């Protein structure tokens, strides 16, 4: 069924500045009306959302679905199932697959499979460079015609500034945002964790924050020069936030995103010495009242790119989210097989899963901690990514697609990675007690996932 009446919920639609108790009627896959005490049309099912928040379908604009080429880690079916369980009605997949998404044929393959096997909407990004090698531009116009919503070499960063400039000029011609993984290889070299006290203590090769900040500064200059929209992915460093804040004040067309692991954890987690946050946003030791699982030092679930950084960086990311410098929240969902992660820290791949925990972690660290309003958090998951990518999503306007997320911001639950819909289990939040849980995910008027005691 593609028609549904959601009743009794608290509707928050940041795109329309709507925040009140209301019903939402979806007819034939489209939003028909939002208002109080709507009548149920004949033959239309109802969904009781009393006590829950009802909002436009959440969008995660940074997800690795691993198809084609790495389907032992994830595929379109399992990745979109994880997204649905996390409350996401749309995901944007990255192009660092095998082969990379650098031509129209691969775009067509993914779109066809996603339409057949995906539970949620899947939007595709194309590579900036051929084979994501950073040496020659991909056919950006051809990628645009094939349906990509942005270009990025995510997982890699174009080091040649001239090539990046030309990519920005082409992207502006085709009205495509450029999403950039900010990493200066000459500074980062072979670092595996944040360069600082803990890297020295643990004897691991350091990854300086300047390795990210250098490319953020480069992107600001190129956005100013070319007028292209450049989006800085998974920001982790305090200096990056400061650079972005100053550039936005000058009207430079740059934006940024943050992932929960970068504003919840610090590099101390790799030493097993991290302090975490409880449901009210107050810091506590992991050992308090057995609140959280105890992870040993050097655990590879804490290895991601960019790395977990120092406390001041975490605080800067939160401040950037609170004042609007960072407009978008996302997961950087990066699944890996168990055997890949069960090696020495130096040799493990970067990345963690995140689709099923990001909403709860964002609510805990930002909303329940009193840092960011509920409406602003929803905006960072809906209208902001939709605006960046020129998607007709992220709103409950009549006539818009009937994508709706229903969640309980106060529900307490424990995340168990073994129960995840994803193929992979590489989450540092396995066993965490979380506050804020998706209750239902509706795509085009169809319930694709509903929370139950069996899930």
Dig out the tokens for 355 from the structure: 């689709």
Nearest to 22 by CA among 31, 9, 12: 9
Are the C-beta atoms of residues 272 and 248 closer than 8 Å to each other? no
Alpha carbons 53 and 270: distance in angstroms, whole number: 35
Q: H helices within 192-345, ranges in order?
A: 197-202, 210-226, 238-249, 260-264, 311-322, 338-341
Alpha carbons 152 and 102: distance in angstroms, whole number: 10
Q: Which residues pair with 24 in a beta bridge?
A: 6, 34
Are the C-beta atoms of residues 149 and 123 closer than 8 Å to each other? yes
Nearest to 182 by CA among 230, 117, 112: 230
Q: H helices within 334-417, ranges in order?
A: 338-341, 358-362, 374-381, 383-389
410 is catalytic: no
Q: What's the Rg (C-alpha) of the chain?
A: 21
Nearest to 52 by CA among 19, 9, 12: 9
- Measured CA angle at 389 (ends 108, 429), to 5 deg: 90
Nearest to 233 by CA among 247, 248, 219: 219
Alpha carbons 311 and 306: distance in angstroms, whole number: 15
Task: Give the CA count within 13 Å in the CB-facing half-sphere of 108.
Answer: 6
What 3-state DSSP class applies to 347? helix
Q: Which of 180, 332, 408, 430 is catalytic?
A: 332
Are the C-beta atoms of residues 258 and 235 closer than 8 Å to each other? yes
Alpha carbons 159 and 410: distance in angstroms, whole number: 44
Nearest to 237 by CA among 307, 300, 334, 323: 307
Kindly write down the DSSP assignment for every residue of 9-76, as one continuous string. EEEEEGGGTEEEEEEEEEETTEEEEEETTPPPPTT-EEEE-TTSEEEEPEEEEEE---TTT-TTT--H
Kindly list the catalytic residues: 332
């Amino acid at each position: 069924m593609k028609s549904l009446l959601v009743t009794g919920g608290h509707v928050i639609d940041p795109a329309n500045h709507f925040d009140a108790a209301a019903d939402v009627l979806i007819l034939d896959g489209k939003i028909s009306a939002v208002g109080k005490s709507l009548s149920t049309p004949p033959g239309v099912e109802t969904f009781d959302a009393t006590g829950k928040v009802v909002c436009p379908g959440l969008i995660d604009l940074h997800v690795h679905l691993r198809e084609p080429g790495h389907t032992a880690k994830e595929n379109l079916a399992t990745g979109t199932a994880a997204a649905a369980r996390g409350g996401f009605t749309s995901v944007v997949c990255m192009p660092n697959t095998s082969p990379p998404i650098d031509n129209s044929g691969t775009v067509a393959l993914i779109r066809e499979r996603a339409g057949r096997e995906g539970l949620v909407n899947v939007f595709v990004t194309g590579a900036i460079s051929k084979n994501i090698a950073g040496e020659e531009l991909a056919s950006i116009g051809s990628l645009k015609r094939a349906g990509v919503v942005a270009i990025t070499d995510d997982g890699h960063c174009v080091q040649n500034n001239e090539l990046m400039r030309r990519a920005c000029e082409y992207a502006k011609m085709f009205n495509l945002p450029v999403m950039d993984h900010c990493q200066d290889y000459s500074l980062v070299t072979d670092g595996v964790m944040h360069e600082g006290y803990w890297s020295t203590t643990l004897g691991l090769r350091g990854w300086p924050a300047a390795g990210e900040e250098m490319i953020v500064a480069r992107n600001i200059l190129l956005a100013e020069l070319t007028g292209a929209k450049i989006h800085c992915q998974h920001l982790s460093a305090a200096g990056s936030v400061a650079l972005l804040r100053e550039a936005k004040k000058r009207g430079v067309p740059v934006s940024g995103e943050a992932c929960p692991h970068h504003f919840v954890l610090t590099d101390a987690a790799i030493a097993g010495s991290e302090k975490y946050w409880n449901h009210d946003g107050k810091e506590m030791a992991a050992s308090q009242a057995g609140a959280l699982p105890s992870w040993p030092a050097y655990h590879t679930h804490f290895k991601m790119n960019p790395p977990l950084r120092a406390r001041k960086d975490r605080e800067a990311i939160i401040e950037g989210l609170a004042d609007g410098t960072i407009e978008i929240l996302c997961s950087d969902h990066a699944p890996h097989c168990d055997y890949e992660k069960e090696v020495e820290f130096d040799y493990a791949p970067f990345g963690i899963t995140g689709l099923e925990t990001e909403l709860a972690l964002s609510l805990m660290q930002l909303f329940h901690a009193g840092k960011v309003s509920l409406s602003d958090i929803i905006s960072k998951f809906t209208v902001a990514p939709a605006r960046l990518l020129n998607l007709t999503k992220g709103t409950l306007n009549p006539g818009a697609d009937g994508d709706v997320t229903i969640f309980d911001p106060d529900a307490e639950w424990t995340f168990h990675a073994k129960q995840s819909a994803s193929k992979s289990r590489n989450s540092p939040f396995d066993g965490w007690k979380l506050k804020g849980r998706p209750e239902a995910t509706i795509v085009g008027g169809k319930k694709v996932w509903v929370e139950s005691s069996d899930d």
